[in-house]
């Protein structure tokens, strides 16, 4: 086994947007710098915030550097087109909403490529780690909203009357395809799995000022171009059972052209998932609760909650073992 093909752990990159808080410390036990922490980019090849490998022979290299070095051995044949663009396909984040995020929408690939200098669009999913009682998301629109009524409501300060509210609790999965009007509201801590893009069109920012004392920029015209006005009163992604036995339960909790996400519940200590990274796609595993361990080629790596690891496409046989009963997310590029 080549010593540069092994499960990769990355040092997160932190973002301090005005809506953040301290829940990555108080809820997840992380050591944080002083002040507000809104996002933790866990696995990122985005040029604005690339994450750096912290384990093994590739320690100190950024994900884009590892991508350039390993190529298809890292991402697999399903991501050939992304490799040719020099982009790692996905981006993994944790978000701590101490205040509401802006109401926003993301473009699809075609629109972003045309209007954002060749950038990718942004389809994403959220897995709720913690939600205060009564917490909700903005997700889609209410019935009857049109581009004209949406614009008028925005200009008259009554936009909230157009927005659908979706209550959430820990363990919920919400799929946010490009074109979805959305906002994470206060009191929610979540994991986000998304295309490798940071293209966001803000529609409404609750009339607040940014850290510089000025309103943050809005992008109403582009937003109306890309909003899916047929997305009305959407709900959670319904889990789809794949497999269940005495040891584990596997459910699909998001499926789309860019990524599939499974929730894998290892029911007891020593329960295990056996997999194979056979060159087709990389896999990203994240422990949401409990304590897991990745085992490959006679080696092992502990995976505590809440951390993620990237398994290269050329890794070969592996196991995800439970050191305690655990819930994990498994992400890969579908065929």
What residues are annotated to the active site?
202
Nearest CA-CA partner of 4 in 44, 56, 52:
56
Tokens, residue 56: 């093994």
Q: Is the distance from CB of 105 to CB of 226 less than 8 angstroms?
A: yes
Calpha distance 17→210 (Å, rounded): 9
CA distances from 250 to 72, 130, 138, 327, 335 (A): 27, 21, 28, 10, 19
Residue 134: left if φ>0, alpha if ψ -120 to 50, beta else—which one? left
Beta-strand relationship, 52-53 and 272-277: unpaired
Q: What number of residues does the chain have? A: 335
- SS3 state of residue 71: coil
The residue with tokens 């009564």 is 134
* 46-334-169-249 Cα dihedral, nearest 10 degrees: -130
Calpha distance 151→23 (Å, rounded): 35
Q: Is the distance from CB of 248 to CB of 290 less than 8 angstroms?
A: no
- SS3 state of residue 5: coil
Calpha distance 76→256 (Å, rounded): 18
Calpha distance 243→83 (Å, rounded): 32
Q: Is the distance from CB of 51 to CB of 13 less than 8 angstroms?
A: yes
Q: Is the distance from CB of 262 to CB of 309 less than 8 angstroms?
A: no
Backbone angles phi, psi at 109, to 5 degrees: -60, -45
């Amino acid at each position: 086994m080549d010593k540069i093909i092994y499960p990769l752990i990355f040092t997160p990159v932190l973002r301090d947007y005005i809506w953040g808080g301290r829940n990555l410390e108080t809820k997840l036990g992380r050591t944080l710098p002083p002040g507000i922490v809104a996002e933790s980019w866990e696995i990122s090849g985005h040029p604005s915030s690339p994450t750096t490998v912290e384990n093994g022979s590739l320690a100190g290299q950024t994900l884009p550097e590892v991508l350039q070095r390993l190529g298809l051995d890292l991402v697999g044949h399903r991501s050939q087109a992304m490799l040719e663009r020099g982009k790692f396909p996905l981006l993994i984040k944790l978000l701590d909403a101490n205040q509401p995020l802006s109401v926003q929408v993301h473009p699809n690939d075609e629109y972003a490529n045309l209007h954002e200098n060749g950038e990718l669009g942004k389809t994403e999913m959220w897995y709720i780690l913690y939600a205060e009682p009564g917490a909700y998301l903005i997700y889609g629109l209410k019935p009857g909203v049109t581009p004209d009524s949406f614009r008028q409501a925005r200009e008259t300060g009554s936009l909230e009357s157009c927005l659908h509210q979706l209550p959430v609790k820990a363990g919920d999965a919400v799929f946010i395809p490009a074109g979805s009007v959305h906002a994470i509201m206060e009191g929610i801590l979540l994991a986000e799995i998304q295309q490798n893009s940071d293209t966001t069109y803000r529609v409404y920012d609750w009339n607040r000022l940014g850290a510089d004392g000025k309103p943050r920029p809005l992008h109403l015209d582009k937003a109306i171009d890309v909003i899916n006005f047929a997305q009305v009163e959407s709900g959670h992604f319904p889990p789809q059972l794949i497999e269940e036995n005495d040891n584990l339960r596997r459910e699909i909790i998001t499926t789309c052209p860019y990524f599939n996400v499974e929730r894998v519940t290892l029911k007891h200590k020593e329960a295990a998932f056996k997999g194979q990274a056979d060159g087709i796609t990389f896999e990203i595993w994240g422990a949401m609760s409990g304590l897991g361990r990745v085992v490959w080629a006679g080696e092992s790596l502990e995976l505590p909650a809440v951390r993620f690891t990237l398994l290269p496409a050329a890794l070969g046989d592996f196991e995800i073992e439970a050191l305690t009963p655990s819930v994990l997310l498994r992400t890969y590029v579908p065929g």
